[in-house]
Amino acid sequence: MKNVSKIIPCYAADTSGVCSALYEFGGMTVVHDASGCNSTYSTHDEPRWYDMRSNIYISALTETDAIMGNDEKLIEDIVSAAKDQKPEFIALCGSPMPMMTGFDYEAVARDIQGRTGIPTFGLETNGTHSYIDGASMAFLAVTKEFVRQCPKAEGIGVNIIGATPLDFPWHGTMDSMKQWLSDNGFSFICSLGMGGTLDEIRRAASAKVNLVVSFAGMAAAEYMLENFGINYVCGVPFGKGFGDVLADYIREAAAATDADCVSPYGMSIDDVECGTDTVIIGESISARSLAKALELDMGIGARVVCPLPTDDMLLSENDSELYAEEDIKAYLEREKPRTVIADPLYRYVIPDGTRLTALPHFAFSGRCFQRDMKDLINIDIKEFFK
């Protein structure tokens, strides 16, 4: 058995990623799954559920429906609910059972769109991939459907791409991001993620730069680069020093005449001494941004262990992509770092003598440590890591 987590949990799944990504856009998200499973996607993996309304439905798939391939029942239910709710769009995603029966999401989505006239996406999740994959396909689908060419905004307009409560504290993050943009003379255009509205997203092409804050936003940013010539920069403005660096990259990306992506890591990592004293475990863009922030604000060299989908471009050569508990455990036992910065549940796989600095990650530990999640954007991180 490979990739079995015996001690630590697994990250939120692709279905939760879809629900989280689309939560605030005014659409209707339907998960093809057994009744009762909505609590997984909408409460365990969703801090907004009790405070903010969103149309997230479960198809209540039964054994008989699965055996009979009773797609018509699902289609009629969705069409009926859509007529009542009049959503801006319909997203249909799934779970392991429809995967096993070969449910054709795209074909059913086309059928529903034909009957309702409402844009409908079939997002082929199956509960076995990471939330990054699900959120990524959801952001891409919204981008393809709603973003159209439009005049550029005055100055340097920036979209924030890929922020969800699965990676960032729900309360405060977007305010911090907007304040940081404002402090640096940029104007906020839209958030393709939490805090975003579909009206703002429709004007996303008026931005000069996309700021990708999670790998979940990368596919949408690539699409906007190819189709609207919007450059993108990857990074989260953690701390002061890295916030300044990131702002410079955004200015550079805005001034670039050719459509070419700008990654802060590819351009600056070579001169960084990555020590082994500190290891950060987490989503690639957040973790590498934090590593840069530690280096620039505190002179600490840190390596990243990324247990989630990413691209080599976003990591330094000393970072590692490790997906299995056994590999992460072996890495930490071999490297024996002085400090690991990670979700508190990683405590159980770090070796004796290594200190854990807890940085709760909602996609990993859910609501267990929600109150302790930290907003490190645009602040003096010495306060947190002193």
Partner 1 sequence: MIKLAIYGKGGIGKSTCTANLAAAFASLGKRVIQIGCDPKADSTINLLGGTPVTPVMDYMRDRDEEPTSIEEISQVGYGGILCIETGGPTPGLGCAGRGIITTFSLLEELELFEKFKPDVVLYDVLGDVVCGGFAAPIREGYADKVLIVTSGEKMALYAANNINKAVKNFEDRSYAKVRGIIMNRRAVENEEEKVRAFAESAGLDIAADIPRSADIIKYEDMGKTVIEGDPECETAQRFMELAKKLIAEDEAND
Residues that bind partner 1 (CB under 8 A): 2, 69, 99-104, 106-108, 110-111, 114
> Which CB atom, from 78 or from 254, has the smaller least distance to partner 1?
78
Quick one: which of 377, 384, 364, 171 has its CA closest to 283? 364
DSSP code of 12? P
> Which CB atom, from 118 or from 349, has the smaller least distance to partner 1?
118
Least Cβ distance, residue 107 to partner 1 (angstroms): 4
Least Cβ distance, residue 2 to partner 1 (angstroms): 7
> Which CB atom, from 103 or from 215, has the smaller least distance to partner 1?
103
Cα 226 from Cα 232, distance rounded (Å):
11
- Hey, is 343 helix, strand or coil? coil
8 A C-beta contact, residue 136 and residue 219: yes
Q: In terms of DSSP bridges, do strands 157-161 and 278-281 run parallel, antiparallel, or are they unpaired?
A: unpaired
> Which CB atom, from 72 or from 199, has the smaller least distance to partner 1?
72
The CA radius of gyration of the chain, in Å to the nearest whole number, is 21
Give the alpha-carbon dihedral of 66, 71, 74, 76, to 10 degrees: -150
Least Cβ distance, residue 56 to partner 1 (angstroms): 25
8 A C-beta contact, residue 30 and residue 57: yes
> Which CB atom, from 128 or from 197, has the smaller least distance to partner 1?
128
Least Cβ distance, residue 104 to partner 1 (angstroms): 6
Tokens standing for 14? 């692709």
> Which CB atom, from 114 or from 185, has the smaller least distance to partner 1?
114
Give the alpha-carbon dihedral of 363, 367, 372, 374, to 10 degrees: 30
Least Cβ distance, residue 103 to partner 1 (angstroms): 6
Cα 22 from Cα 17, distance rounded (Å):
9
**Cβ count near 71 (within 10 Å):** 17
> Which CB atom, from 134 or from 193, has the smaller least distance to partner 1?
134
8 A C-beta contact, residue 296 and residue 246: no
Least Cβ distance, residue 89 to partner 1 (angstroms): 20
The structure tokens 């791409």 sit at 161
Least Cβ distance, residue 111 to partner 1 (angstroms): 5
